[in-house]
Amino acid sequence: MRPPEGSSRGNLKIYLGYAAGVGKTFQMLLDARDLAQQARDVVVAYFEPHERPDTIAQVQGLEAVPHRKIVYRDRVFEEMDADAVLRRKPQIALVDELAHTNIPGSQRAKRWEDVQLVLEAGIEVWTTMNVQHIESLNDQVWQITGIQVRETVPDWVVRQAAEIVAVDVTPEALLNRLKRGAVYKPEMVERALAGFFKGSNLGALRELTLRQAAHEVDVRQFAFDETSGFQVPRISESRIGQVRPETAKERILIHITADASTAMLIRRGRRVADYLQADCLALFVHKTPELADLSLAEREAVEKHLRFARSLRIEAQVLAGKDVPQTVVDFARRNQVTQIFVARSRGRPFELLLGRNYGEAIVRSAHDLQVTVVADRTRKKGF
């Protein structure tokens, strides 16, 4: 999505891969050198050498902005120095590993927050990340690989990018690189092969990356067409031989509870809303609006979920109501919601007896609305 003419914000470009060692940084540096030769002012704002000789060779000759050194527990860590980049004010800044979490004591918790600052100063940023770091894909990646990824980037940050480039390599070539010691140090290779890099994981993540990149291209086409009035036979239409009819805009409502599964619900709701270009709302219903009678743990969980929803740019509200499912359904009707997202009950019998199995109760009472009971993707299979 390009900023409007005259906007001073810098463009963001993301090199998207599916694992360490696919060649994201290498590709980024290769493209950057092309531009540097065209007298564009390119600097390396953050670079993680990982002791990979091919990649290190690419960075030679490019100007590097010194990293910020931070002492944490008697050790020195290096982070990107956003202020130094702003002072240097290049045309293009290269920043490795967008999903990185800064060491405690840094000015900002996440590297993507540092990047926001640089973009706001009108500097173009090129960066790298893996598909599994996209927030809304977290549970799907868990379901596919059995591994929960901790460092994530909110979807809206990815959506900001003017361009997403897929960096593709076959799993076979990647495994060869790994075994030759070109990705990790020898002592880490065994562990990598048994974990993330095992069996079908790589193929599945690779497919996810290609589909995500295709979707990102599609979204940017929509954006371009809307502003330019450009008309071209779109792939999906030509595939089924009919023109997309005008459909009413969808509105998705996520039902927030104290249950830990709510995070999963929020991520899935966000993802589906983005794909359907739908509005996304979230609601927590309680007997009293102050939440005073909740236990401390429950209250903290609810507040965490509300904050999480808002961090993904979902409008989240708290409403008082004695009958929780009915209040959710009434709210949905009042707000022209087309689809309610509810969690799967964890099958605790006492909860079912106490009538706290809200999801199924909402399914029963929302006869005029679509209700989606979201999967528990922490389990690997469809069962």
Partner 1 sequence: MRVSELLRPSPERLLLQAQAEETKQWGARLKIFLGYAPGVGKSYRMLDEARRRHERGEDAVVGAVQGRRSEEVQTILSKLESIPPLETAGGQAMDVEAILRRAPQVCVVDPLAAQNPIGSRNMYRWQDVQELLRNGISVLTSVNLLHVAEYKEKVQAITGRDTTETIPKSFLLSADDIVIVDVPTDLCLWRLGAKLTTIGISNYQERQLSELRELALLLTAEVVDAQLESYVQTHGIEPVFGTQERFLICLTPNSNAKAMIESGRRNMERFQGELYVIYAPQPNLSKKDSSRINEYLESARQAGATTEVLESDDPIEAVIEFAHRKRITQIFIGHGSHENWRNRLFGDPILRLIRATEGIDVRVFPH
Interaction between residue 380 and partner 1 (CB under 8 A): yes
- Beta-strand pair 163-166/68-72: unpaired
Beta-bridge partners for 319? 285
51 φ, ψ (degrees, to nearest 5): 55, 40
E strands, the chain, are 12-17, 42-46, 63-64, 68-72, 75-79, 92-95, 124-130, 163-166, 251-256, 279-286, 315-320, 339-342, 370-373
Lay out the site mask for partner 1 across 116-135 (x = CB under 8 A, - = otherwise): --------x-----------
d(CA 356, CA 372): 17
Stretch that binds partner 1, among 73-81, 106-114, 162-170, 300-308 (CB under 8 A): 162-170
Ranges within 321-350 binding partner 1 (CB under 8 A): 339, 344, 347
From 176, 132, 134, 180, select the one nearest 154 (Cα to Cα). Answer: 134
Q: Is residue 255 within 8 Å of 362, Cβ to Cβ?
A: yes
Ranges within 278-307 binding partner 1 (CB under 8 A): none
Interaction between residue 97 and partner 1 (CB under 8 A): no
Interaction between residue 220 and partner 1 (CB under 8 A): yes
Lay out the site mask for partner 1 across 251-270 (x = CB under 8 A, - = otherwise): -----------------x--
From 101, 95, 113, 92, select the one nearest 156 (Cα to Cα). Answer: 113
Q: Min. distance of Cβ 312 from partner 1 in angstroms?
A: 18
Interaction between residue 372 and partner 1 (CB under 8 A): yes
Cβ neighbours around 102 below 10 Å, total: 18
Nearer to partner 1, 296 or 354 (CB): 354
Interaction between residue 8 and partner 1 (CB under 8 A): no
Interaction between residue 36 and partner 1 (CB under 8 A): no
Member of 181, 190, 275, 310 binding partner 1 (CB under 8 A): 275
212 φ, ψ (degrees, to nearest 5): -65, -45
Nearer to partner 1, 50 or 220 (CB): 220
Interaction between residue 248 and partner 1 (CB under 8 A): no
Q: Is residue 329 within 8 Å of 358, Cβ to Cβ?
A: no
Member of 108, 234, 299, 304 binding partner 1 (CB under 8 A): 234
Stretch that binds partner 1, among 76-84, 100-108, 207-215, 316-324 (CB under 8 A): 207-215
